[in-house]
């Protein structure tokens, strides 16, 4: 009985650690994504949708590398894991693009608050998929 409780506790402790670290990495990658977006749109005056495409890819790449080596520590089958991670990331990017379009073109809000809200919504979705698909046994 004690073994099962200890095992369950360690499993939850590991999951909580992964969620916290995933959030920290996601926070860093989101800041990098948003910073690049602001740089591209405000300084370089690129189109907001092209800027979002570029900034999201930078964020996905940094998140993949940090989660692979620091959080989940699963460096085997890196190509398959990268493919899965990017597919999940692109689903999040699609959601982000949709929210950006609806928020700015249909509702008429400023793009920065919409971009930030989209990051939080996409992050929750992406953690679940990455945990269950990308960093499971491939």
Owning domain of residue 47: 1-73
Which run of H or of E encompasses 31?
helix 2-38
Q: Name residue, tokens 């700015």.
A: 104
pLDDT of residue 123: 81
Total domains in the fold of the chain = 2
* For residues 45-73, average pLDDT: 94
Same domain, yes or no: 84 and 124: yes
Final residue in a domain of this structure, among 24, 49, 73: 73
* For residues 60-84, average pLDDT: 95
Is 46 in a helix, a strand, or coil? Answer: coil
Q: In this structure, are residues 39 and 60 in contact, taking their beta carbons and an 8 Å threshold?
A: no
Same domain, yes or no: 22 and 67: yes
Is 45 in a helix, a strand, or coil? Answer: coil
pTM: 0.74
pLDDT of residue 133: 92
Same domain, yes or no: 39 and 92: no
- pLDDT tens, position by position, 89-137: 899 888 888 999 999 999 999 988 998 888 788 888 888 999 999 998 7
Same domain, yes or no: 69 and 88: no
Same domain, yes or no: 85 and 65: no
Final residue in a domain of this structure, among 18, 38, 73: 73
Residue 49 has pLDDT above 80, yes or no: yes
């Amino acid at each position: 009985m004690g073994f099962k409780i200890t095992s369950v506790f360690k499993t939850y402790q590991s999951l909580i650690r992964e969620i916290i670290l995933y959030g920290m990495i996601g926070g860093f990658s989101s800041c990098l994504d948003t910073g690049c977006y602001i740089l591209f749109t405000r300084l370089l005056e690129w189109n907001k949708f092209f800027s979002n495409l570029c900034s999201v890819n930078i964020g996905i790449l940094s998140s993949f590398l940090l989660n692979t080596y620091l959080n989940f520590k699963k460096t085997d089958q890196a190509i398959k894991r990268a493919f899965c991670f990017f597919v999940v990331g692109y689903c999040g990017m699609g959601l982000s693009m949709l929210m950006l379009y609806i928020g700015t073109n249909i509702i008429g809000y400023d793009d920065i608050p919409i971009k930030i809200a989209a990051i939080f919504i996409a992050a929750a979705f992406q953690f679940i998929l990455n945990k269950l698909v990308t960093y499971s046994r491939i």
